[in-house]
Chains A and B, each alone.
Chain A
Amino acid sequence: MTLDEFRLTDEPYYQPNGGEVDLFTAAYSCRLPVMLKGPTGCGKTRFIEHMAWRLQRPLITVACHEDMTASDLVGRYLLDEGGTRWHDGPLTLAVRHGAICYLDEIVEAHQDTTVIIHPLTDDRRVLPLEKKNELVKAHSDFQLVISYNPGYQSVLKDLKESTKQRFLALDFGYPEAAAEAAIVAREGAVEADLAGRLVDLAGRTRQLQGEGLEEGASTRMLIHTARLVAAGVAPATACDAAIVTPITDDPDMRKALHAVVGACL
């Protein structure tokens, strides 16, 4: 199995923001597990795609969710006419055949999934398949990467210390204003001036945690807004649709953000 469908053919655009590319390359060369920390929409997923492309490795991404259990990750027995047949889950696939496995928002998943990955993250590098009674030794190309958003974690949902300590962590934030504007202008195909104003707007919303806004406008939101504008939508309307309305349901907050949009554009 070559995992060809998991290989990236075109370079995903990524604007380095510091030494993260070199650090990740070094981590990969030692096959150390990596944790990407940072707020929603700041480019974590894009970064790992870029790195997979750069390192010429297949990338298996799993978006973790509340109902996801360990068997969704490692695999399960399914039935056919002849009887039961084992079906590898995405993690097992990556471990067997040597891909980078990216578990997005790992804390969202059921607790038992985080324990599954423990033997993969130390020097054993094995994945026990309990139901199949098999111990899968990791392919030499295999690497585990998880993402983690500390912003909206509470005591209810946090990584266990024993899990956290197995990972090397790369901290992602929103890029510097100028760099972020360049990203928005490029990805959203708008002029630098508008991109700059959108970034200014986003910076203002990111201040508002204390006022009851959980997270400010992300780089991704700005790119969405810019794309809408490039598609012919008026900037203020695009901001309302791509930033203000998704970000909050609180009428007071909406009114305020709407006014901030009016001021910034």
Chain B
Amino acid sequence: MPGSRPQLTVVTTDAESRIARLHRYIARRDDMRATFQDIWQRLEAGPVGAWREDWSAAALRLFEVNAGPAVQMAFWRLSLTEARRCEAAALIATADTAGGICRHCGSAAARGFLERAGQLLAATDGARALGPWLDGLLDLATAGAEPLAAVLQRLEMLLGTLDGPGFRHWVESGLAVAAQDRAKLRAFFALEDPLARQLLQRSALGDPLGKLERSLQIYLHALTEQPVRIRALPPPTADAPAQRAAFSGRLALLPESFERDEGRAGGAVYFAAAAHIAAHMTFTPGRLEPGGLKPVQLALVSLVEDARVEHLAMRRMPGLRRLWAPFHTARPDGARTMPSLLARLARALFDFDHPDPEPWVQKGRAMLQARLARLDDPLLARELGNLLGHDLGQMRIPTIARHHVVEPLYRDDNSGLWNIPPPEDAPEVEAIAIDTVRLEREERPDGGREDEPDLSPEAGKVRPAAAPPDEDGMPVAAYPEWDYRARIERPGWAIVRDARAPPAPAEAVRRAEEAYPALTRRIEALVRGARVGQPFRRKRQPDGEQLDLDAAVEATIAFRAGERPDQRVYQKVARRPRDLSLLLLLDGSRSTADRAAGPGGVTGGGPAIVSLERDAALVLARAMARLDDPLAIRSFDSNGREKVRIRRLKDFDEPFDRRAAARIAGLQPGLSTRLGAAIRHAGTELARRRSWRRLLVVVTDGEPSDIDQPDGRYLAEDARRAVHSLRGAGIDVFALGLDTGVTRAGREIFGRQHFLPIRDVADLPERLAMLYFRLLAR
């Protein structure tokens, strides 16, 4: 009976069992009673019997959202068919998702979902794998019933193509691309929009290059015995969909995905492409001069060169044959077109035993075999290529297009072989090694920090109460600045002010807190793992699992000598408590109002950088609060050297509660970036902490700048000096850079090892949290 409302709302009293409540509730519903009794008996006899309390609670929750009998019965039927095969948690999460869908799109949509949920439960293994699918569908429900229905119709295909996170990502991309436009939404999720299909394919591949990038970089380093950088090629265009790898000097350029499927088996195509590039880097001596060579001649010389370097590489690393061979699939029975002949020649030159009836191919192979002794002669390629090109000219086969696509799939596009203008230099490859130098705690006999020199002479305090508070805040300290041209420190140059941090409304806080469910779950697992510290042995303990031999001997001696023995004769392994204070310094300058790139690289399509900073700070604060590690969060901006404003979003000794969260969520973009003064101030605060490890993590999106300083290098040099002085005082400084443009400056200021460039700003919350956990592990 659609639209019928329950007569009574459920009154919750804790003493009552959910099962009883559900039964009482159903007893009043004439429309459901008979069906329910029948189903309940069968459910109770099955696996649901073991968790009927939870099951009843889920059913009651469906009533609470006015889901109506049809939805309720759909859930029961689903339980009957699926309970045997799936986890309790998966089934209950499905019911709750139906409730959520019902809330957004009405009960018809919820019923539609439950009727297809069987597929979902069957295709995913357990609640963990199911989670992202349900999250994605719920996100979709917020956009309306229509896109949800479109996706549910294609659920089977999507289940076959994507994994959970891939689905979630695809849905998020679609919602972001279509924004609020209904027509666009419908077109996207009905897969009528070509972008939807493209993004689907990319999600399906699961960003293969991203997952393999570091492995490939290591692989290339090992194969070429020199460091190699990797960069992703820009996505292919519609008129040139097939992409090949490329290289330039010691830079390997790899496509984000290969158009054929070979890449899915453990990324073999990427390793094959990397190994081929490594062979060039090792054995191709330098770029060749194209001179007056025609495209077909260029292709032939390149092809012979490919074969030459591969044979040389296989002499040293015979396993490469197994890697490359599966990609040579050219068959001798194809048409005599130029691309097919080239692919066949490539195969024949790679595999001397492969039969090919074509005389031209046989001749090419015979010529290479005859010259195997001088394989390391770089002129071989041009010699053979010219001979083969001449013969090909006689065969009157239509010539190839200028941009012919090299086969097999793993080979590079040959652009690195010829002296044609190289691609512009790549952004540096992301890598961070957290190497920190610090003193062993045991080497500090006093163990304390108070009598250590402060960061002085830098920390000259200004009379704190001298100036009246104004909108720029009360001046709290003055710091020197380093003038790199004059090579002097200008004393008391930058005035730091303690400015007010306005809180955000509660709604914004709540939204930010719910933003990262997957990351939050992952962090919870890490938190559990990080609770324990490093083990170390304590001797002379009153209790423990082993005897401390020296203490035991002494005690016995004392006993026999008639003295009172010391009873602390045990030793035990204790966990060294983690003892670390972290100060997070957020760049609150105007540029953080810029929007991050949206899905598909749409400029400015994503959220503002400042909002990602807020989210990242909230995620980190929550994780650290659960570990009881002291955390302070500061944001800074500046307006000339006398107004460096520091906002205290959270203090070390303050619990992470609603008020602190509201201040973090209230972070707004301000003015300029006087980084050095902010770092010095953060250092002064950290220096007062008595923790063993003191960490400063700076999040910044641009080079330092300020209105009174036209020379960009001045503030960067000053910041670098500030970082050095903090390190000298035993404070570790790390930075995350939010824009590729800041990478070079960031590395100069913080040092390559301590600067992590973040290519995709949306990753900031995750990267910041992971940085913290990596630091914890050391």
Q: Is B553 an interface residue (CB 8 A)?
A: yes
Q: Is B398 an interface residue (CB 8 A)?
A: no
Please tell me which one of the listed residues B222, B318, B320, B440 contacts residue A257 in the complex, with CB atoms under 8 A apart.
B222
The complex places the Cα of A71 from the Cα of B549 at a distance, in Å, of 10
Interface residues of A in 225-262 (CB under 8 A from B): 252-253, 255-257, 259-262
0/1 interface trace, chain B 204-221, chain A, CB 8 Å (1 if under): 000000001011111101
Known A-B contacts: A212-B218, A262-B271. Give 8 more (CB < 8 A): A155-B439, A200-B316, A207-B221, A207-B225, A253-B218, A255-B215, A257-B222, A264-B317
20 contacts between A and B (CB under 8 A): A67-B537, A79-B553, A155-B437, A200-B316, A204-B223, A205-B222, A207-B221, A207-B226, A208-B218, A211-B217, A211-B227, A252-B218, A253-B215, A253-B218, A256-B216, A257-B222, A259-B215, A259-B323, A262-B319, A265-B319
Please tell me which one of the listed residues A67, A155, A197, A208 contacts residue B221 in the complex, with CB atoms under 8 A apart.
A208
Contact B556 A252 (CB under 8 A): no
**Shortest Cβ distance from B275 into chain A, in angstroms?**
6
Contact B212 A255 (CB under 8 A): yes
Q: Is A135 an interface residue (CB 8 A)?
A: no
Q: Is A84 an interface residue (CB 8 A)?
A: yes
The complex places the Cα of A78 from the Cα of B550 at a distance, in Å, of 9
Contact A256 B319 (CB under 8 A): no
Contact B557 A211 (CB under 8 A): no
**Shortest Cβ distance from B318 into chain A, in angstroms?**
7
Inside 8 A of A156's CB, which chain B residues have their CB? 440
The complex places the Cα of A104 from the Cα of B654 at a distance, in Å, of 49
Q: Is B433 an interface residue (CB 8 A)?
A: yes
**Shortest Cβ distance from A116 into chain B, in angstroms?**
15
The complex places the Cα of A79 from the Cα of B323 at a distance, in Å, of 66
**Shortest Cβ distance from A244 into chain B, in angstroms?**
12
Q: Is B396 an interface residue (CB 8 A)?
A: no
Q: Is B402 an interface residue (CB 8 A)?
A: no
Contact A76 B222 (CB under 8 A): no
Q: Is B560 an interface residue (CB 8 A)?
A: yes
Contact A256 B215 (CB under 8 A): yes
Contact A208 B319 (CB under 8 A): no
Contact B223 A260 (CB under 8 A): yes
Q: Is A18 an interface residue (CB 8 A)?
A: no
Inside 8 A of A253's CB, which chain B residues have their CB? 215, 218
0/1 interface trace, chain B 312-356, chain A, CB 8 Å (1 if under): 000011111011000000000000000000000000000000000
Contact A263 B319 (CB under 8 A): yes
Inside 8 A of B318's CB, which chain A residues have their CB? 197, 264-265
Contact B215 A263 (CB under 8 A): no
Given contacts A204-B225, A210-B227, A264-B317, contact A256 B437 (CB under 8 A): no
Contact A76 B319 (CB under 8 A): no
The complex places the Cα of A220 from the Cα of B679 at a distance, in Å, of 48
Contact B550 A76 (CB under 8 A): yes
Closest to A69 in B: B550
Interface residues of B in 289-331 (CB under 8 A from A): 316-320, 322-323
Q: Is A83 an interface residue (CB 8 A)?
A: yes
Residues in chain B within 8 A of chain A (CB atoms)? 212, 214-219, 221-223, 225-227, 271, 275, 316-320, 322-323, 433, 437-440, 537, 549-550, 553, 556-557, 560
Inside 8 A of A212's CB, which chain B residues have their CB? 218, 433
Contact A263 B221 (CB under 8 A): no
**Shortest Cβ distance from B228 into chain A, in angstroms?**
10
Inside 8 A of A200's CB, which chain B residues have their CB? 316-317
Q: Is A152 an interface residue (CB 8 A)?
A: no
**Shortest Cβ distance from B709 into chain A, in angstroms?**
36
Q: Is A77 an interface residue (CB 8 A)?
A: yes
Closest to B217 in A: A211
Most buried by B among A76, A208, A252: A252
Inside 8 A of A2's CB, which chain B residues have their CB? none
Given contacts A67-B537, A263-B323, contact A79 B218 (CB under 8 A): no
Inside 8 A of A257's CB, which chain B residues have their CB? 218, 222
**Shortest Cβ distance from A109 into chain B, in angstroms?**
13
Q: Is A154 an interface residue (CB 8 A)?
A: yes
Contact B320 A71 (CB under 8 A): no
Inside 8 A of B225's CB, which chain A residues have their CB? 203-204, 207
Inside 8 A of A260's CB, which chain B residues have their CB? 219, 222-223
Given contacts A76-B553, A83-B560, contact A262 B322 (CB under 8 A): yes
Contact A262 B222 (CB under 8 A): no
Inside 8 A of A66's CB, which chain B residues have their CB? 537
**Shortest Cβ distance from A151 into chain B, in angstroms?**
14
Given contacts A208-B222, A212-B433, contact A259 B214 (CB under 8 A): no
Contact A259 B219 (CB under 8 A): yes
Contact A207 B553 (CB under 8 A): no
Inside 8 A of A213's CB, which chain B residues have their CB? 218
The complex places the Cα of A263 from the Cα of B227 at a distance, in Å, of 18
Inside 8 A of B214's CB, which chain A residues have their CB? 252, 256
Inside 8 A of B553's CB, which chain A residues have their CB? 76-79, 84
The complex places the Cα of A208 from the Cα of B226 at a distance, in Å, of 9
**Shortest Cβ distance from B472 into chain A, in angstroms?**
42
Most buried by A among B218, B221, B323, B553: B218
The complex places the Cα of A253 from the Cα of B556 at a distance, in Å, of 53
**Shortest Cβ distance from A264 into chain B, in angstroms?**
5
Interface residues of A in 81-103 (CB under 8 A from B): 83-84
0/1 interface trace, chain A 39-57, chain B, CB 8 Å (1 if under): 0000000000000000000
Given contacts A84-B557, A210-B221, contact A264 B319 (CB under 8 A): yes
Inside 8 A of A262's CB, which chain B residues have their CB? 271, 319, 322-323
The complex places the Cα of A83 from the Cα of B216 at a distance, in Å, of 66
Please tell me which one of the listed residues B227, B438, B549, B560 contacts residue A76 in the complex, with CB atoms under 8 A apart.
B549
0/1 interface trace, chain A 181-211, chain B, CB 8 Å (1 if under): 0000000000000000100100111011011
**Shortest Cβ distance from A201 into chain B, in angstroms?**
9
Closest to B275 in A: A263
The complex places the Cα of A79 from the Cα of B551 at a distance, in Å, of 12
Contact A71 B550 (CB under 8 A): yes
Closest to B557 in A: A84
The complex places the Cα of A77 from the Cα of B439 at a distance, in Å, of 35
The complex places the Cα of A240 from the Cα of B166 at a distance, in Å, of 31
Closest to A255 in B: B215
The complex places the Cα of A84 from the Cα of B323 at a distance, in Å, of 69
The complex places the Cα of A262 from the Cα of B438 at a distance, in Å, of 40
The complex places the Cα of A161 from the Cα of B440 at a distance, in Å, of 17
Contact A259 B437 (CB under 8 A): no
Contact B556 A263 (CB under 8 A): no
Inside 8 A of B218's CB, which chain A residues have their CB? 208, 211-213, 252-253, 256-257
Inside 8 A of B227's CB, which chain A residues have their CB? 210-211
**Shortest Cβ distance from A198 into chain B, in angstroms?**
12
Closest to B571 in A: A67
0/1 interface trace, chain A 55-78, chain B, CB 8 Å (1 if under): 000000000001100010000111
Inside 8 A of B215's CB, which chain A residues have their CB? 252-253, 255-256, 259
The complex places the Cα of A255 from the Cα of B212 at a distance, in Å, of 9
The complex places the Cα of A212 from the Cα of B217 at a distance, in Å, of 11
The complex places the Cα of A255 from the Cα of B323 at a distance, in Å, of 14
**Shortest Cβ distance from A251 into chain B, in angstroms?**
8
**Shortest Cβ distance from B394 into chain A, in angstroms?**
39
Nearest 6 CB-CB pairings of A with B:
A256-B218, A204-B222, A256-B215, A252-B214, A255-B215, A263-B317
The complex places the Cα of A224 from the Cα of B226 at a distance, in Å, of 27
Contact A211 B221 (CB under 8 A): yes
Inside 8 A of A264's CB, which chain B residues have their CB? 317-319
Closest to A71 in B: B550
Closest to B270 in A: A259
**Shortest Cβ distance from B693 into chain A, in angstroms?**
13
Closest to B320 in A: A263
Inside 8 A of B221's CB, which chain A residues have their CB? 207-208, 210-211
